[in-house]
Structure 1
């Protein structure tokens, strides 16, 4: 919502479902009452209610009213399918037209937080960088996804994982406790420079105090160009301030690999990873095109054999929960994962729902949703749910 405070109600009315606007008008005409909503999702998630709660509090302040928000699952905790994340109580007239908008602010962050949490736990020794911004549909979604990654990360960190070290944009870096975003170069800079090495030189000249992470797949010479950069900057390499980023697209193998060579790399390092049944997707992550486990291992081999054991490997391209799990099983020597794949894949899973469960303190909910009632001894009498 943007604009002066006087515009807030008009903005809400314009973006909420019409039947909520009409409900508000009817309630104002026939008489207000206190209601309690149960707000939930239909799938397991990690609780990420802060954006919704802060928005509701700002609307309440603007309208000169008060909403009681009882969060049942603290931020960063697991929530089962259908289990109310929070109960929201207040004037029906003041709450009726807000449902569309506050649900938008709850569902997507909860699912994305769950994805980020799972990814971090799959690779607990790896740091993550949130690179979701380019995949978001505008600034509000960008804020939600960064917030979600930070919530999932913090939950995983409490269980011993490194989690997300930061993200790629300044505007949302605060969610990760950072003053700014992280990043060095896109492929476009390498195209502009004409070579991977020259792009690295340009970046280092412009930002000499920054650590250097170099994309090495632009010309299809990940190993050759990666080693050339290491030889050009031996001091950075020895100090652990240099990293190569693998972002090989799914249409080809990393330099020097093919199916046979990919199996050979894993046979040398983690033979157990390829000696059991694998789905087609798992095999692709292990020995297929793009940034596979074999590709990461081959890059590590080349760096170590050439005397650059402290050069780090950043891996990106399609790192969702499943790919992280396969990389963990293959013990892929990744230092950092750059990912936006915690963004929910099945958007229908992000739909949050709210049902009123009490009117003026009397428990009442539509048939089939009795599970939303607070566990306070509510029961049915003559078809009605009463306390």
Structure 2
């Protein structure tokens, strides 16, 4: 296993956005906006110029430009031309709204029809990286597992989102958080310094086995050297089935090699809970948490159906009372920034969170923009974007 760090450019160039995905000119032309193709044809007829693009996003983000720049380098190498890429922020750095992320300089004829495709590989990644950073910082002592793949529209999006989680995680670890320790599949595991994806069993295996305990036994027989992470909500008996598994494997439980995963859906409460008892559980373990004013969404995270803070506290309480203090709790189901913040406020005793909810909710916030700010080194930009000229002037100041 390698150190968990942001992948270097050599690895990125060899990833799924590597040479075989850099796209030939015909494919680029087919996938880009028509006016960029026409711009290239006009420039080629009337004379090429050297241009500098400023690339920015209208909201605060975490810089995660690695996949996009690796792709650009591959395109340039395959096309036999050069692009100067100046990153203004290191990967994982916070970037304010409207601040240029990077400058791209080169032939206008060669860059014009790349704008659509390079922006596709940038905006959503930086926003998702910001979300992952916020989630990890909200629960700094919790390990996160990236489970974005099932929510993505194909592998290209999956790779972008996994990379975003890894970059946001690196930023959070710089500030002392544990962050994302891995992800759920092999293809993007190297982003997290891992060779393989992490995970044990879906609900389907429990349905196949006929009981939670039998599924755990099957898993343990096939993977005897792995830690045992067991879903416990299939039959609505999270506590009963969870304790049954612990009693079946007492040595694993005592060694901290059993984790119970809560994925209770939002249509019901954890076994034995209702609104009143959920209030009581939180009041017993984290007095005052629910006494402050809450929005309806915050209250649901704390004492509502599904995987609430009260549900996590109740499972922890049951495990400790039964003599299994070393058994860990894994939680999943909608753990975005808001839910992680609510869990932190309730001091929820969760050890690992599995989530893909760093994927941006509001897609319009992910739109990145590229504007030319210099033609043959002469500063020029459309009215309303003069702030980009100021940024360029500061860059060129001796």
The verdict on a shared fold, with TM-score over 0.5 as the criterion, is yes
Matches within 5 A, 1:100-115: 100-115=116-131
Q: Counterpart of 2:113?
A: 97
Provide structure 2 residue ranges, at least 5 long, that are not aligned to the other structure: 1-16
Residue 65 of structure 1, CA deviation: 1.1
Provide structure 1 residue ranges, at least 5 long, that are not aligned to the other structure: 379-387
Matches within 5 A, 1:69-80: 69-80=85-96
2:52 aligned with 1:39, yes or no? no
Q: Secondary structure at the match of 1:244?
A: strand
Q: Counterpart of 1:159?
A: 175
Residue 2 of structure 1, CA deviation: 9.2
Q: Counterpart of 1:382?
A: none
CA contact (8 A) 2:63 2:89 kept: yes
Equivalent residue pairs, number = 378
Match of 1:22 among 13, 20, 38: 38
CA contact (8 A) 1:5 1:62 kept: no
Q: Counterpart of 1:309?
A: 325
Distance 1:319 1:377, change over 3 A: closer
Q: Counterpart of 1:288?
A: 304
Q: Counterpart of 2:384?
A: 368
2:352 aligned with 1:336, yes or no? yes
Q: Counterpart of 1:210?
A: 226
Q: Counterpart of 2:314?
A: 298
Residue 3 of structure 1, CA deviation: 9.1
Match of 1:170 among 186, 189, 192: 186
2:280 aligned with 1:256, yes or no? no
Q: Counterpart of 2:235?
A: 219
Q: Counterpart of 1:181?
A: 197
Q: Counterpart of 1:383?
A: none
Distance 1:241 1:97, change over 3 A: same
CA contact (8 A) 2:18 2:70 kept: no
Residue 73 of structure 1, CA deviation: 1.1
Q: Secondary structure at the match of 1:237?
A: helix
Distance 1:192 1:375, change over 3 A: closer
Residue 83 of structure 1, CA deviation: 0.5
- TM-superposition CA deviations, 1:85-138 (whole Å, max 9, x none): 001100000000000000000001100000000000000000000000100111
CA contact (8 A) 1:112 1:342 kept: yes
Separation of aligned partners in 1, 2:347 and 2:86: 43
- TM-superposition CA deviations, 1:236-266 (whole Å, max 9, x none): 1011110000000000000000000000101
Q: Counterpart of 1:82?
A: 98
Match of 1:276 among 277, 281, 292: 292
CA contact (8 A) 2:22 2:75 kept: no
Match of 1:139 among 149, 155, 165: 155
Distance 1:232 1:376, change over 3 A: closer
Q: Counterpart of 1:121?
A: 137
Distance 1:308 1:104, change over 3 A: same
Q: Secondary structure at the match of 1:250?
A: coil
Separation of aligned partners in 2, 1:60 and 1:153: 30
Residue 228 of structure 1, CA deviation: 0.3
Separation of aligned partners in 1, 2:55 and 2:369: 6
Residue 267 of structure 1, CA deviation: 1.0
CA contact (8 A) 1:293 1:330 kept: yes
- TM-superposition CA deviations, 1:166-216 (whole Å, max 9, x none): 000000000000010000000000000000000000000010011110000
CA contact (8 A) 2:125 2:163 kept: yes
Residue 375 of structure 1, CA deviation: 3.9
RMSD: 1.4
Separation of aligned partners in 2, 1:361 and 1:151: 33
Residue 350 of structure 1, CA deviation: 0.6
Separation of aligned partners in 2, 1:327 and 1:6: 42
- TM-superposition CA deviations, 1:41-75 (whole Å, max 9, x none): 01000000001101111111112111111111111
Q: Counterpart of 2:25?
A: 9
Distance 1:13 1:254, change over 3 A: same
Q: Counterpart of 2:370?
A: 354
CA contact (8 A) 1:273 1:330 kept: yes
